[in-house]
């Protein structure tokens, strides 16, 4: 592909890339949308003599998982990012270069233009926000990989099935016995004392089980840590790449502003 065609293609995909980043951030931050990464199963068995409660039953599957979201992000945005660095590599042919080392692994030798572009890319507030807001599972609940047939997918996690009785309190009114009633000459105006007795009964039994397509706090921390390490490696590579003699440019301030100012 020619450079002019790649430039046009990248300019067109740039707005889509930015829109995708913002959409991900909004999805991860919006409490109303967080339900797509969580699931719930409820069952209810009414005891004899009590009504069934359909609202306490049902299954809501996890609609998507965080790993799948990140995989899809790479699929829809990966080509744009690769094209950006291809343009920089083309523009920087013959320029100062340095090796990029990430935790002891060499990624290759890159020009200062590529490294500067990578630094700008990694410093993007929107990209950082996307990773900082990755939905995570509650760490006060014990999770395990789901084996539920309806949950579907190796990336779904589940809790144990929580069992709880559905209790209610029945109020029963009764008349208090009055030992002095027999001594009354006229009991027509007598008002007996009414008392209330509360009795707890179990109307049925409910179970609840939670499902999640979120990642753990540790996994999110690891992603942010790798992002930080990559940014530090880029800074080090830039410092090495810039250890070269400067080459004066023919585009001087006198030439530029002398022309603009007519002097």
Q: pLDDT tens digit string along 30-60?
A: 877 878 999 999 999 999 888 899 999 999 9
Contact between 135 and 113 (Cβ < 8 Å): no
Residue with tokens 């083309």: 90
Specify the pLDDT at position 31.
Answer: 77
Cα torsion angle, 182, 184, 186, 187, sign: negative
**What are the domain boundaries of the chain?**
3-171+204-260
pLDDT confidence of 147, banded at 50, 70, 90?
Answer: confident
Specify the pLDDT at position 142.
Answer: 94
Specify the pLDDT at position 96.
Answer: 77
Specify the pLDDT at position 183.
Answer: 64
Task: Determine the Cα–Cα distance for residues 3 and 197; give it in Å rounded to an integer.
Answer: 86
Q: How many CB atoms lie within 10 A of CB 137?
A: 21
Q: What is the mean pLDDT of residues 1-16?
A: 83
Note the pTM of the prediction, 2 decimals: 0.71
Specify the pLDDT at position 199.
Answer: 86
pLDDT beyond 80 at 253: no
For residue 196, the cross-strand partners are: 173
Q: pLDDT tens digit string along 192-246?
A: 778 888 888 888 999 999 999 999 999 999 999 999 999 999 999 988 887 777 5
pLDDT beyond 70 at 182: no
Quote the strand ranges of the chain, DSSP E: 38-46, 58-60, 97-102, 105-111, 144-145, 157-158, 162-175, 194-212
DSSP string, 12-24: HHHHHHHHHHHHH
Give the three-state DSSP class for 100. strand
Specify the pLDDT at position 227.
Answer: 95
Q: What is the mean pLDDT of residues 110-129?
A: 92
* Average of per-residue pLDDT values in the chain: 87
Specify the pLDDT at position 233.
Answer: 95
pLDDT confidence of 9, banded at 50, 70, 90?
Answer: confident
Contact between 143 and 159 (Cβ < 8 Å): yes
Q: Please state the φ and ψ torsions of residue 193, each to the nearest 5 degrees.
A: -85, 125
């Amino acid at each position: 592909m020619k450079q002019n065609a790649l430039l046009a293609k990248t300019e067109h995909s740039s707005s889509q890339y930015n829109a995708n980043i913002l959409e991900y951030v909004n999805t991860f931050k919006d409490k109303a949308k967080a339900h797509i990464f969580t699931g719930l199963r409820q069952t209810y068995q009414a005891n004899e003599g009590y009504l069934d409660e359909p609202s306490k039953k049902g299954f809501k599957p996890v609609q998507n998982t965080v790993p799948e979201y990140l995989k899809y992000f790479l699929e829809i945005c990966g080509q744009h990012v690769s094209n950006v660095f291809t343009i920089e590599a083309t523009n920087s042919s013959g320029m100062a270069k340095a090796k990029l080392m990430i935790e002891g692994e060499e990624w290759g030798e890159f020009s200062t233009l590529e490294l500067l572009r990578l630094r700008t890319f990694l410093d993007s507030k929107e990209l950082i926000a996307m990773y900082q807001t990755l939905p995570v599972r509650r760490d006060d609940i014990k999770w395990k990989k789901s084996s539920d047939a309806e949950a579907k997918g190796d990336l779904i996690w589940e809790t144990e099935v929580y069992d709880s009785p559905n209790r209610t309190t029945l109020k029963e009114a009764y008349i208090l016995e009055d030992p002095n009633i027999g001594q009354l000459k006229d009991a027509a105006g007598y008002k007996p004392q009414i008392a209330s007795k509360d009795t707890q009964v179990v109307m049925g039994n409910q179970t609840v089980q939670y499902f999640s397509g979120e990642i753990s706090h540790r996994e999110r921390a690891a992603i942010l840590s790798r992002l930080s390490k990559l940014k530090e490696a880029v800074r080090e590579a830039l410092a090495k790449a810039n250890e070269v003699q400067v080459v004066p440019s023919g585009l001087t301030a006198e030439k530029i502003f002398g022309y603009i100012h007519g002097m």
